[in-house]
Amino acid sequence: MMDFNRLINLIFLLLVRQIFAQSPPAASITAQEEKRFISKVSQVNLRMTVRDIVQCGNRLGGTVSGDKSVKYVVRRLKGYGFDPEIVSEPEQLAFSDVHWNIRIEEPNRLRGLIQHEWLAGYSPSVREQRSSLISCLSDTDLDKKKIDGKAVLLDRHPSDQTYKVLVQAGARCLLTYEPVHSSAYSIYAMITNLKASKTNPIPVYDISTYAGERLKSELQKGIPVTIKYSSKCIVAPGHPKTVIATLHGTGDGYFIVCAHGDSDSGGPGADDNASGVSGVMEIARLLKGLVDDQVLPPPSKSIRFIVWGSEVSSSGYYVRQHAQELQKIAGVINLDEIGIARPRNCIYFEGNDAEQNHDLLKIFENIGEKYAGQRGFWKEATTNPLLGGLDSHVFLPKSLEGLGLPSVGIPSITIFTAAWNEPKTVAQTEGWRSKAWKGKSDSIVIGYSPYYHSALDLPKMTTDKEPVDMVWGVNAAGLALLQLMWK
Ligand SMILES: [Zn+2]
């Protein structure tokens, strides 16, 4: 027979076993860390960062406003306890607008018509002048006698060739607009760029579709229109600058969490991409704080938080500079346009047709499904195929091979809530179907921003209106990093 004490000990041991069998300690720690991270994300901080960045100007790589935003990002990261590095890249031609003005003088009743216009990139500086406006309806209707000395209205964006012909015919400036568009640019300009050159002879003013169509109809009725305009710009070579701040890990290799720091269109770029930069800085602030406060141990690998000076060109420079040690990059999480979500409250994880992204995107898909519909989170979440032209693509085999670099199979994804200026439906990659996607199973509707590359990509139209979208981006990336680096 068993004595009483032994019996008590045995019951105690069985009870302890039972408790551990029911709740594995690792899982409860993860849930706690996730909760703690989520609770610390600051919407106020995210919004403020976007506003500060947009105030710097268009932030194109190699411009004064680009350098200004680099200084801002560095100062903030230092405040979080980082020791950021600034990488100065090879010189390239860069465009900054200092100021411009374009107004209708006559007829008087149209004086307030031009609003939310923008000066096209690589326009030259011109002193204030007046010109009468004529309409040019097609590229075959370029009557030189009519054009000489006039400002020309185009109901489309000119090709390099049309610009050249109009200049040769003596046009003084161009007013251009996006043809009627289903979801954007009705009362604000889509921003365009001339060929990058120091010697473009005449300025181009991008105006809204409404203003353009109204002017076209006045001119067709034979009503004379006079405009007054000026521009002051700097077109000069400059060095794009990329900021890198590292959270040091215990093991070899590192993860990149990045966003492009320029507005790429040359506009205010609140959503595209001050929102992404703000997200990267918030993730950096939170993870650094948790490690410094010893709430978390150092990560198993380092995390490099990177703000690219110039979209795609700076990440291209980075991979070339690190050609001998690309295998050290364990993965890339890029944030691009997380400041507005239309038409669905959906977060997207891009690149499911790239084989090496499989495991990383499965982590994001699980996070997307776990949190969909919870308070403060996305209503929908999905992965999607590669769409093109992002910093994350630079790290994928096709791009590395194109640059003559070793293709080392780096998982590299982008998180976004909007792409382009209208919703587009793309085929879903076979084998990928998120439970958090409520649309069709074989296709994905890609979210868009009505302010994409426009004069109104401002905080008040995007990130101040929908700050929760940035919170989604930070939570998705942060929770994935917790799983990847602190497992
Ligand atoms: Zn972008």
Residue 460 in this model has a pLDDT that exceeds 60: yes
Gap from CA of 229 to ligand 1 centroid (Å): 30
> Which pLDDT tens digit goes with each residue over 326-377?
999 999 999 999 999 999 999 999 999 999 999 999 999 999 999 999 999 9
Gap from CA of 45 to ligand 1 centroid (Å): 21
Cβ-contact 373, 307 below 8 angstroms: no
* pLDDT in the model for residue 29: 54
* pLDDT in the model for residue 388: 81
* pLDDT in the model for residue 137: 78
Gap from CA of 326 to ligand 1 centroid (Å): 24
Gap from CA of 257 to ligand 1 centroid (Å): 15
Gap from CA of 320 to ligand 1 centroid (Å): 21
Is it true that 33-91+239-485 and 97-233 share their CATH fold?
Answer: no
Gap from CA of 259 to ligand 1 centroid (Å): 8
Integer Cα distance of 407 and 401 in angstroms: 6
- Architecture (CATH level 2) of domain 97-233: 3-Layer(bba) Sandwich (3.50)
Residue 290 in this model has a pLDDT that exceeds 60: yes
Gap from CA of 190 to ligand 1 centroid (Å): 15
| Residue range 261-289: mean pLDDT, rounded | 97
* pLDDT in the model for residue 276: 98
Relative to beta strand 346-350, strand 380-384 is parallel
> Which pLDDT tens digit goes with each residue over 368-414?
999 999 999 999 999 999 998 799 999 999 999 999 999 899 999 99
> Which pLDDT tens digit goes with each residue over 33-46?
999 999 999 999 99
Query: Per-domain residue ranges for the chain?
Result: 33-91+239-485, 97-233
Integer Cα distance of 53 and 133 in angstroms: 37
Q: What percent of the chain has pLDDT over 90?
A: 88
Gap from CA of 207 to ligand 1 centroid (Å): 22
Integer Cα distance of 345 and 372 in angstroms: 10
Report the chain's mean pLDDT, rounded to a whole number: 93
Which amino acid is it at 64?
V
| Residue range 160-165: mean pLDDT, rounded | 94
Gap from CA of 478 to ligand 1 centroid (Å): 20
Cβ-contact 191, 453 below 8 angstroms: yes
Gap from CA of 344 to ligand 1 centroid (Å): 19
> Which pLDDT tens digit goes with each residue over 87-129?
999 999 999 999 999 999 999 999 999 999 999 999 999 999 9
Gap from CA of 260 to ligand 1 centroid (Å): 7
Gap from CA of 410 to ligand 1 centroid (Å): 21
Gap from CA of 390 to ligand 1 centroid (Å): 7
Residue 434 in this model has a pLDDT that exceeds 70: yes
Gap from CA of 128 to ligand 1 centroid (Å): 34
Angle of the 358-371 helix axis to the 467-485 helix axis, nearest 10:
130
- Architecture (CATH level 2) of domain 33-91+239-485: 3-Layer(aba) Sandwich (3.40)
* pLDDT in the model for residue 180: 82
Long-range contacts of 131-139 (CB under 8 A, 24+ apart): 131/172, 131/173, 131/226, 131/227, 131/229, 132/224, 132/225, 132/226, 132/227, 133/175, 133/215, 133/219, 133/225, 133/226, 133/227, 134/219, 135/215, 135/216, 135/219, 135/220, 136/166, 139/165
* pLDDT in the model for residue 6: 56
Residue 21 in this model has a pLDDT that exceeds 60: no
Gap from CA of 274 to ligand 1 centroid (Å): 9
Which amino acid is it at 416?
F
* pLDDT in the model for residue 8: 53
* pLDDT in the model for residue 28: 44
Nearest one of 239, 312, 237, 311 to 274, comparing CA atoms = 311
Gap from CA of 214 to ligand 1 centroid (Å): 32
Residue with tokens 């300009």: 189
Which amino acid is it at 131?
S
Gap from CA of 141 to ligand 1 centroid (Å): 36
Q: What percent of the chain has pLDDT over 70?
A: 94
Gap from CA of 270 to ligand 1 centroid (Å): 10
* pLDDT in the model for residue 22: 44
Gap from CA of 216 to ligand 1 centroid (Å): 33
Integer Cα distance of 229 and 68 in angstroms: 28
Gap from CA of 151 to ligand 1 centroid (Å): 33
* pLDDT in the model for residue 25: 39
Confidence of residue 19 (pLDDT cuts 50, 70, 90): very low
Gap from CA of 336 to ligand 1 centroid (Å): 5
> Which pLDDT tens digit goes with each residue over 166-200?
999 999 999 999 988 878 889 999 999 999 999 99
Gap from CA of 449 to ligand 1 centroid (Å): 11
* pLDDT in the model for residue 182: 76
Gap from CA of 469 to ligand 1 centroid (Å): 15
